[in-house]
Amino acid sequence: MLISRKQHSPSKIFRHILLRRFRSKAAVHLVAVSCALAPCSVLANELINSHNGVFSSKFELNQWPDNSTLPYAAAERLSKQRVQTLAEEASKRAQTQYLAKKFGQHVKIVRQYVDYAWAEAAKRDGIEPELIIAIMQKESSLRPRVQSRFGAQGLMQVIRKWHGEKLRPSESLFDPEVNIRVGSDILEEYLELAGGSLPQALKKYSGNARGYSNTVLKESRKLALVAEQAVGG
């Protein structure tokens, strides 16, 4: 397969190979090294010399802009970061589109909620962004200013008088970023109390509402599938 510099940009090469040729994680990883860091001529030569999508372990980027060689190990580390960044962005976009369509909300607004959920999940063990988003769906249908008759407020329906220590006096639970942070704090706390059991943590979060855990976990799996499909899983 010959790839000319004039006909293909690195980003197009990456998409073409990722979606049409290589399906294994190892292949995607190595293609990302080439596409993100190598000139097209280097990539073309390496692809020509590859067999069944397996690249030589000695592959080095000898045409780096300053004519130096970027060691394979360094390229490998950079490629992992690049692949993760691309995968996360694709996942977030797909989840945003899914949620915006489901709840009839503007994409830009929903994307903020998705970004906040991913940021909070990244700080915690055992909590995925899909779980946080699924709780938001169940609790508020992604309505940031909703309030229940019991005083639960915002996206994750937090009751301030029960969790006031998690907020500064000036903070509002109608602020999506604050609400998602505090709701995630509560979920993390309940997960620890439940010994790592998500169903038990969700049961406590909902106040023992019947069927709550199953509904949230089912939607969490749906969101994970949306993300997986977006990255070619």
Q: The CATH number of the domain where 211 resides is what? A: 1.10.530.10
Asked, for residue 1, whether it belongs to a domain, the answer is no
Asked, for residue 78, whether it belongs to a domain, the answer is no
Asked, for residue 192, whether it belongs to a domain, the answer is yes
145/182 same-domain check: yes
Note the pLDDT of residue 79: 81
185/98 same-domain check: yes
Asked, for residue 79, whether it belongs to a domain, the answer is no
Asked, for residue 124, whether it belongs to a domain, the answer is yes
117/41 same-domain check: no
Note the pLDDT of residue 32: 47
Three-point CA angle 175, 211, 173, nearest 5°: 10
129/201 same-domain check: yes
Three-point CA angle 58, 17, 89, nearest 5°: 100
45/93 same-domain check: no
* Minimum mean pLDDT range among 23-27, 75-79, 127-131, 139-143: 23-27
HSE value, Cβ hemisphere, 13 Å, CA-based, for 177: 4
Number of domains in the chain: 2
CA distance 202 to 189: 11
User: Taking the chain, what is the end-to-end CA distance rounded to the nearest angstrom?
Assistant: 24
Task: State yes or no: pLDDT of 40 exceeds 60.
Answer: no
Task: State yes or no: pLDDT of 9 exceeds 90.
Answer: no
Asked, for residue 80, whether it belongs to a domain, the answer is no
CA distance 49 to 47: 5
Helix intervals (H) in the chain: 10-20, 25-37, 40-48, 72-103, 107-122, 129-140, 176-193, 198-205, 212-230
CA distance 88 to 69: 29
- How high is the mean pLDDT of the chain? 79
Note the pLDDT of residue 74: 62
57/115 same-domain check: no
66/102 same-domain check: no
Asked, for residue 212, whether it belongs to a domain, the answer is yes
Structural domain harbouring 45: 10-70
Note the pLDDT of residue 22: 37
Give the mean pLDDT of 49-66. 42
Asked, for residue 129, whether it belongs to a domain, the answer is yes
pLDDT-based confidence at residue 25 (cuts at 50, 70, 90): very low
97/171 same-domain check: yes
CA distance 143 to 145: 6
pTM for the full predicted model: 0.69
pLDDT-based confidence at residue 19 (cuts at 50, 70, 90): very low
Give the list of residues 6+ apart from residue 82 with CB closer than 8 angstroms, or none: 32, 36
104/30 same-domain check: no
What 3-state DSSP class applies to 152? strand
**For the segment 132-163, what is each residue's pLDDT rounded down to a tens digit?**
999 999 999 999 999 999 999 999 999 999 99
117/66 same-domain check: no
65/35 same-domain check: yes
Note the pLDDT of residue 71: 59
117/202 same-domain check: yes
**For the segment 93-108, what is each residue's pLDDT rounded down to a tens digit?**
999 999 999 999 999 9
